[in-house]
Structure 1
Amino acid sequence: MSTGFAQNPPWLVVREYNEEKDKAAVEAFENRCDFQQAGKPSLVTNLLGDPLCRVRHFPLHVMLVAEHVEKSEIVGGIRGCIKTVSKGEHQHRAYIKMAYVLGLRVSPPHRQLGVGTKLVQCLEEWCKRNGADYAYMATDSYNEASLNLFTLKCDYIRFRSLTILVQPVHAHNKPLISGVVIKQLDPKLASAVYCKTFGDSEFFPEDIDVILHNKLNLGTFMAIPKSYVDHWDPEMTILPPSFAILSIWNTKEVFRFQVKGVSPLTYAECAGSRVLDTLMPCLRLPSVPNFFKQFGVYFLYGLHMRGYGASRLMKSLCAHAHNMARNDVLCRAVVAEVGKRDPVREVMPHWRKFSWAEDIWCIKELATAKQDINTNRGSHDWITSTSKSSPVIFVDPRDF
């Protein structure tokens, strides 16, 4: 079914993706977009034969494709989904319907022709029809083309700045900190804890229980001081005075990465570090995993810590997640995304050269301005306010 934007440019039609009809063509199109710049390494994403994999776990999702009608060729694509998330009000948690825009791609020969703009406009129309109040997107601060498209042409506003932290998985286990006990929480208990700890955060999903019961969720883990074990409350009616918590999402079952275009010298140096780490694991060398073949990552989300010694507790949880990833032959990195003012950011182990210092989230109000029933202020205040925003942003693992 075509949208109302199919007339401009005249050779372009934007329509919903048809899995039976379009799958092979979309895969070919995605491969054409994975081009390398001469002499520069690139990170290629493989969607494992499912163009909808990045949005399929949302109840309400869509993929639109741009088709060159004269050539019967797909030249662009975009994905979107809608969820209900918190605005992060300090006194009253307010939930709104939020659309997430991702996966915008246009084949190289058809860029700068308005294809990307039309795809965004058409997706916004779909979001409005399905009741979304806002739409947001995320991109690296260095991606000027994407930022210019959304902020200059599509009226999005820079909203929040997050940091993506990447910790390579080594051949050796990371030691856990003494005096710390790690307990795994069942999904129901984890949901209750998250609802308590993220009450003032932004983007907390209303369907957190659905996320925690998803087959891609590998578990929720809480670290507490060993001295508190005798006082452990299995029902979590009262949270421990000191604790850290996180959940682990298995992204390698959805998509995988591969680094291409490195020099032979770099390749040899990385391979040499792995050999030394394997032969002498007791040295705990910072080896570089084999990123040059397809690999997956574990995504850490729901990170929170509080109380005396919480930094040690979070570091121990991160070591536990690393060791889980080490036992998974295809998992070669552990990744987390946190707000730049989140205290967890200073605790997370990561390699700076592999991390993204600034992941920009841009937002746009889709519905007409209306009064917020909880605060008696216009809803636009949330977009423009930074001083009143929570330092903690809950990053939905389905967004990654």
Structure 2
Amino acid sequence: MLAQNHQNPPEVTVVIREYEEARDKAAVEAFESRCDFQQTGKPSLVTNLLGDPLCRVRHFPLHVMLVAEHVEKSEIVGGIRGCIKTVSKGEQEHRVYIKLAYVLGLRVSPLHRQQGIGTKLVQGLEEWCKKNGADYAYMATDSYNEASLNLFTLKCDYIKFRSLTILVQPVHAHNKPLISGVVIKRLDPQLAGLVYYKTMGDSEFFPKDIDVILHNRLNLGTFVAIPKSYLDHWDPKMNRFPPSFAILSIWNTKEVFRFQVKGVSPLTYAECAGSRVLDTLMPCLRLPSVPNFFKQFGVYFLYGLHMRGYGGSRLMKSLCAHAHNMARNDVLCRALVAEVGQRDPVREVMPHWRKFSWAEDIWCIKKLGTAKQEINKNLGPHDWIKSTSSSPSVIFVDPRDF
């Protein structure tokens, strides 16, 4: 609760409009650099967009960025991005697809916060989503980001819907050994799409345009791990799957944006640097040294993670080792990241460092006007939001959302 004598700054007059690249690109980049501040003694993870303010939504066919322009100063003081996709509601009896909007990248200049600009940006984006036929809108944020959660849940009527875990595995200087008796096969995008439709098509948030994702230039490949003794059982085109297998895909985020850790103490910086020096001097020890996260770096995002059958965890670990070794050969990639449901069995299998991971990533959702007015054949007989009490174990995380 705020103290009773605390008064928020008065609201300023802003115009919410669509981003125009030729007119706004430099101003947006300058505005977002002002938002990348860190408090003393509190480490922060800064995202550096590579010269394209639309990079996080550009890979969706339907996307937009809105900016808040200060009327008196003719200055951009806020921004928000959004996109619309078609996803599965995760109903097992019959597959139902809906149009879902994803709200992301909400930022307001530090000097203009608590003045109602964030709320206006969200409302403006919701109107765009409604006009483009979205049934629901959702956003994701760290459970510790109280300001963002309060804005969406208290002021914009979103509700907490799903809770996921973000797992981060640093990329080390040494190859990870692969498990013997396991064959790793790379699937072409068409076959990979077929496998995903048959194995994860009923998962919540499964994208209808999975083939577009798998053919995207940022997709580095889809891989399956199969025990050698079950290779004869692998024929997805004939709907033949072995009793045990694991699958994942790899998305190259470093071509879109980079991360950088700022604000750590000198002692922490020295400890991390020292681990790399020791690893260089004594490589035979194969120490899990901390990569240099204090310069800009990229990550590979692992998605479509699925395992089944006896020994599935062993197969998934083998795939993760394969992904690590791919990342090790990329000098700019310093971490593997995956996001999974908190009840997903994969969560207990994925290699990760707890201190670099997020225990709870909150997804909040809101039914938009198009869905409130009528229940049509696209939405199905049940309100998706009312299924919060039965959170599914498997949630398909679209790599374009990351």
Q: TM-score, normalised by structure 2?
A: 0.94
2:214 paired residue among 208, 212, 215:
212
Residue in structure 1 matched with residue 261 of structure 2 by the alignment: 259
In the alignment, the residues of structure 2 paired with residue 330 and residue 268 of structure 1 have an alpha-carbon distance, to the nearest angstrom, of: 21
Question: Residues 16-165 of structure 1 correspond to what in structure 2 (within 5 A)?
Answer: 16-165=18-167
RMSD: 1.5
Q: Residue 200 of structure 1 contacts residue 390 of structure 1 at CA under 8 Å; is this kept in 2?
A: no
Distance 1:376 1:242 in 2: 33
The SS at the match of 1:245 is strand
Contact persistence 2:96–2:379 (CA under 8 A)? no
1:385, distance to aligned residue in structure 2 (A)? 1.6
> 1: CA distance between counterparts of 2:328 and 2:122?
39
Within a 5 Å distance, the mapping from 1:1-400 to structure 2 comes to: 11-233=13-235, 235=237, 237-366=239-368, 367=370, 368-371=372-375, 373=377, 377-379=381-383, 382-400=384-402
**Whole-angstrom CA distance in 2 between matches of 1:251 and 1:74:** 27
Aligned-partner Cα distance in 2 for 1:276–1:144: 39
Count the aligned residue pairs: 391
Q: CA–CA distance in 1 between the matches of 2:148 and 2:279?
A: 39
Give 1:141 deviation, angstroms.
0.2
Is the alpha carbon distance of 1:175 and 1:116 closer, same or farther for their aligned partners in structure 2, counting shifts above 3 Å? same
* 1:279-307 superposed Cα distances (whole Å, 9 cap, x missing partner): 33332212100000000000000000001
For 2:214 and 2:373, the matched residues in 1 are separated by 34
Q: Which amino acid aligns with 2:115?
A: L
Question: 1:268 aligns to what SS in structure 2?
Answer: helix
Instruction: Give runs of ≥4 in structure 1 deviating > 6 Å.
Output: none
Give yes or no for contact 2:234–2:241 (8 Å, CA) kept in 1.
Answer: no
Answer yes or no: is the 8 Å Cα contact 2:301–2:399 preserved in 1. yes
How far the C-alpha of 1:164 sits from its partner, in A, is 0.2
Deviations 1:63-116 (A, max 9, x none): 000000110110000000000000000101100000000000000110000000
**1:136 positional shift:** 0.1
Counterpart Cα distance in 2 of 1:371 and 1:348: 39
Report the Cα distance in structure 2 between the residues aligned to 1:335 and 1:309, rounded to whole angstroms: 23
Task: Give the letter for the 2:363 counterpart.
Answer: W
Q: How high is the sequence identity, in percent, across the aligned residues?
A: 86
What per-residue deviation string (whole Å, max 9, x for no partner) do you get for residues 303-322 of structure 1? 00001100000000001001
After TM superposition, the structure 1 stretch with the greater mean CA deviation from structure 2, 362-371 or 278-287, is 278-287
Distance in 1, matches of 2:243 and 2:401, equals: 31
The letter for the 2-side match of 1:42 is: S
Q: State the Cα deviation string for residues 151-174 of structure 1 (Å, max 9, x = none).
A: 000000100000000000000111
The 2-side partners of 1:53 and 1:291 are apart by: 22
